[in-house]
């Protein structure tokens, strides 16, 4: 029997470290934040086309973003676009998609791939994921992709790898010994250079039935609520049931509800991957990932339409939505983000702290800027 595969693209989160480009009303996945000519969502969709056709590709997003998603993804099927009334984190989003898949394709393998990540080597990514699909189908375990660390990152969680498994269709597969939280700088150095840890990229591949069984065991109330919604999906009662059940669902990440308990039970496999992955989590990532453009200054990367930049002995990144001229003189690794209603100036070294600025803006009551 051939196992079918469904790709699930969770498209949520507000990306506060990429404010003021990324907003609640228009999160980072809807932006061409890297200046590639396509948004992060469009790039994710294009990658999954190598794994599944539109009939087997699901996008889960907020109700407020449905129209923008349809505009950016003209090939997404209406019955494969799942709208959430409010953010409930990845367990609810992926869990609901898994239930909808399971209703008509009970033996299917699903894989979740965030809409707002960057991958530079698509061919290698597809090869690794195909190994993961084979491992999930063969073993019935949860399979995750462990990205080879390229530096001691403190912004990512890590996966401790265990023994090499003997899987013919996934020869690099190892048992996942443990998921570990984002480390401090010294611990990150130990992890990155030990050879025994991988970055947790949040990609999970498994049979839909396996995910639902673990969800039922680890989060029975969430499972019960999602079951009620899935049973009403596509019927005249869908809106009524979603409005009644969704607000009361637990807000939990799939890592905590499914992956970590499964790893503790010895039921998670990790496939090592080295394909230029980044979660595009802040403007330092943007500066690193931005590819030089012919004729552009060697010191300053400019992103946006009709961006005008003058730089004198400066290095950094300028993102502009206004068309205003931005001049940098004698500054190093500066980040300038110019939008119609907000201007951000920071350094690459402080890019992670942009989230704190967003909290301060929120405290002023300027919800229109969030």
Question: Mean pLDDT of all residues in the chain?
Answer: 93
Mean pLDDT of 6-32: 93
Question: Cα–chain-centroid distance for residue 13?
Answer: 9
226: its two tokens: 């999602």
For residue 302, the model assigns a pLDDT of 87
Between 13 and 96, whose confidence is greater?
A: 96
* Phi-psi map region of 306: left, alpha, beta (phi>0 left; psi -120 to 50 alpha): left
Whether the pLDDT of residue 110 is over 80: the answer is yes
Q: Which domains does the chain have, with CATH numbers?
A: 5-281 (3.90.550.10), 293-369 (no CATH)
Instruction: Write out pLDDT tens, residues 23-46.
Output: 999 999 999 999 899 999 999 999
Q: What predicted TM-score, i.e. pTM, was given to this entire model?
A: 0.94
For residue 174, the model assigns a pLDDT of 96
State the helix-helix crossing angle for 238-245 and 220-232, rounded to 10 degrees: 160
Whether the pLDDT of residue 305 is over 90: the answer is no
Ranges of H-type helices in 272-321: 283-289
Whether the pLDDT of residue 1 is over 50: the answer is no
For residue 296, the model assigns a pLDDT of 60
Distance CA 26, CA 31 (A): 8
Mean pLDDT of 193-207: 95
Report the percentage of the chain scoring pLDDT > 90: 86
For residue 286, the model assigns a pLDDT of 92
């Amino acid at each position: 029997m051939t196992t079918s595969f469904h790709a699930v693209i969770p498209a949520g989160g507000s990306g506060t470290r990429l404010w003021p480009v990324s907003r609640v009303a228009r999160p980072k996945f809807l932006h061409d934040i890297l200046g590639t000519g396509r948004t992060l969502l469009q790039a994710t969709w294009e990658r999954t086309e190598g794994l599944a056709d539109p009939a087997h590709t699901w996008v889960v997003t907020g109700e407020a973003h449905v129209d923008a998603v349809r505009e950016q993804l003209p090939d997404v099927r209406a019955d494969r676009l799942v709208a959430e009334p409010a953010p409930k984190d990845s367990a609810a989003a992926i869990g609901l998609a898994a239930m909808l898949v399971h209703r008509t394709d009970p033996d299917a393998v699903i894989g979740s791939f965030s809409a707002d990540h960057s991958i530079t080597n698509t061919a290698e990514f597809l090869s690794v994921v195909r190994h993961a699909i084979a491992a999930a189908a063969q073993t019935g375990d949860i399979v995750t992709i462990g990205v080879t660390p390229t530096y001691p990152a403190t912004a990512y969680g890590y996966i401790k790898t265990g023994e090499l498994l003997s899987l013919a269709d996934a020869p690099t597969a190892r048992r996942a010994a443990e998921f570990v939280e984002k480390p401090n700088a010294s611990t990150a150095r130990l992890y990155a250079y030990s050879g025994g840890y991988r970055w947790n990229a949040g990609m999970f591949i498994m049979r839909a039935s396996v995910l639902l069984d673990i969800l039922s065991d680890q989060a029975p109330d969430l499972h019960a609520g999602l079951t009620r919604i899935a049973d009403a999906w596509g019927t005249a009662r869908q809106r009524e049931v979603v409005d009644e059940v969704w607000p009361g669902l637990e807000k939990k990440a799939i890592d905590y509800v499914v992956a970590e308990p499964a790893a503790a039970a010895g039921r998670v496999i990790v496939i090592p991957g080295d394909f230029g992955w980044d979660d595009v989590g802040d403007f330092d990532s943007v500066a690193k990932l931005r590819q030089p453009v012919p004729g552009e200054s060697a010191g300053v990367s400019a992103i946006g339409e009709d961006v005008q930049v003058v730089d004198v002995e400066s290095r950094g990144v300028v993102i502009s939505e206004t068309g205003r001229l931005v001049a940098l003189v004698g500054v190093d690794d500066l980040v300038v983000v110019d939008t119609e209603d907000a201007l951000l100036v920071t350094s690459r070294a402080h890019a992670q702290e942009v989230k704190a600025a967003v909290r301060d803006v929120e405290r002023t009551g300027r919800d229109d800027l969030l």
